[in-house]
Chain A
């Protein structure tokens, strides 16, 4: 049995569970920053369905879907962070850098058939900056007294683990890791499950907090 066949149910399963849980509990998050995460999950699910259709039915080797997921979902994450940070400058820099890195990357790689690693790298760095900015802001307020009950704290942990792994494993150690596909897919599954799990837990906390 191929490692992808083992890891994919966990990856898509955690994604679907988080998405369905977010829809079921929409009333608890519709007026909160976590509403952006419903859009994040919806975009991810739809693009993954289309990507799988092209890959499995049409037997296409299009990789444009990965690029679409990277640019759209991460822009949504920047907007989610903005709701907490209220830092327009950081939002503008983050989105501008994402757009510029995509444009530059498109000179060197084909948008349709190659994953934009360098653009993804730049976006990951900006997301890590956003996470640290959020943690820094949280540490300076009295909200830190009940930080374990704050949805954004857990979601940020999921985001930072996911993005740090992207930066370290897929960009800095890419050549090394791609030597062994099993390791590659195991890592991406674990960090994805952690990310979707943190979103699920964040929504649950919103429900508990009311």
Chain B
């Protein structure tokens, strides 16, 4: 091999080294760029999640002040009437509910069983307040494993509160609330139907317009906002519908239907 051939060989190697060096440089920079982009996305996602959680916390904590006020007024009423036993029972149930409320406010999810126990306590207090003007039935599908299935904390209670305060409250005769919990064919999915025989959502809206009441609108907005956040989180798939029973030829009152699927356990 003569000198010229060696020179060309060295030059070829040199050119290849420069080209490979440049490729390596760009790959390094591109990898780092992608790494940073991914990190930024993860940070954004974490921040968004944090924001969602704080918003959910805030929404969970919105126990209607009217409920607390009315319950305390009712207890006061029983005390004034010297009905010690009833007032004691009322106070015990109320304090237990409050304790559960504060406990659950800090929790993202609870089991369906815990949620059912919570709404039972709530409805018991409402029953005392309305002096048995309210009755309720909770029907649980036998195939539904309430200890295994989860639900976003205090999901049903605000809907029951609407049924009591805006459905049955305006009714002259006594009212009934029915809560049906059913399993669906999909994994981790179940349906909750809350049915009352109150005045119905159409009349409630008319009534609110007359009295400039905004409580229903506000609580519905809070429910809708919370459901949006839960759906956006990717952990839940929740559909929600509210209908006046007279619109669907099913007597009077309001029917709320919730279909909940826990996606995080799938």
For B29, list chain A residues within 8 Å (CB). Answer: 138-139, 144, 147, 153
Check if B11 sits within 8 Å of A183, measured CB to CB. Answer: yes
Bound together, the chains give a CA A80 to CA B223 distance in angstroms of 61
Q: Known contacts A173-B10, A180-B4; can you find 16 more A-B pairs with CB under 8 A?
A: A138-B29, A139-B28, A139-B29, A145-B37, A147-B33, A161-B18, A165-B14, A173-B7, A176-B3, A176-B6, A177-B7, A177-B10, A179-B3, A179-B4, A179-B7, A183-B8
* Cα distance A142–B7 in the bound complex, in angstroms: 43
A179 to chain B: which residues have CB within 8 Å? Answer: 3-4, 7
Q: How far is the CB of B45 from chain A (nearest CB, A)?
A: 17
**A150-165 CB contacts (< 8 Å) to partner B:** 153, 157, 161, 164-165
Query: Can you list 8 contacts pairing A with B, beta carbon distance less than 8 Å?
Result: A142-B36, A144-B32, A157-B22, A165-B14, A176-B6, A176-B10, A177-B10, A183-B8
Is B59 in contact with chain A by the CB < 8 A criterion?
no
CA distance A157 to B21 in the complex (A): 10
Give the residue name and chain of the B residue nearest to A191 (CB).
B18
The interface bits of chain B over 98-137 (1 if a CB of A lies within 8 angstroms of the residue's CB, else 0) are 0000000000000000000000000000000000000000
B33, A145: Cβ atoms closer than 8 Å: yes
Q: Is B25 an interface residue (CB 8 A)?
A: yes
> Number of contacting residues on B, CB 8 A?
18
Q: How far does the alpha carbon of A147 sit from the alpha carbon of B26 in the complex, in Å?
A: 10
- Tell me the complex Cα distance, A153–B32, Å: 15
* B interface secondary structure, majority: helix
Q: Once the chains are docked, how many angstroms separate the CA of A138 from the CA of B3?
A: 42
Instruction: Name the B residues within 8 Å of A138 (CB-CB).
Output: 29
What is the count of residue pairs linking A and B with beta-carbon distances less than 8 angstroms? 44
Cβ A183 vs Cβ B7 within 8 A: yes
B residues in contact with A157, CB < 8 Å: 22, 25
Residues of B within 8 A of A173 (CB): 7, 10
- Bound Cα distance from A177 to B14, whole angstroms: 12
Q: How far is the CA of A177 from the CA of B7 in the complex (A)?
A: 6
* Chain A proximity of B212: nearest CB distance (Å): 53
List residues of chain B with CB within 8 A of the CB of A142: 36
**Which residues of A sit under 8 angstroms from B36, Cβ to Cβ?**
142, 144-145
Q: Which residues of B contact A169 (CB under 8 A)?
A: 11, 14
Which B residues between 6 and 51 are near A, CB-CB below 8 angstroms?
Answer: 6-8, 10-11, 14, 18, 21-22, 25, 28-29, 32-33, 36-37
A153 proximity list for chain B (CB < 8 A): 29
* Distance of B4 from chain A, by nearest CB (Å): 6
> Is A135's CB within 8 Å of the partner chain B?
yes
> Nearest-CB distance from A19 to chain B (Å)?
25
- Among B3, B6, B14, max chain A CB count under 10 A is at B14
CA distance A208 to B18 in the complex (A): 28
Q: Is the CB of B33 within 8 A of A144?
A: yes
CA distance A153 to B11 in the complex (A): 26
A50 at the interface (CB under 8 A from B): no
Q: Binary interface profile of A, 173-210, with partner B (CB < 8 Å = 1, else 0)?
A: 10011011001000100000000000000000000000
Which 5 residue pairs across A and B have the least CB separation, nearest first? Answer: A144-B32, A139-B32, A147-B29, A179-B3, A176-B7
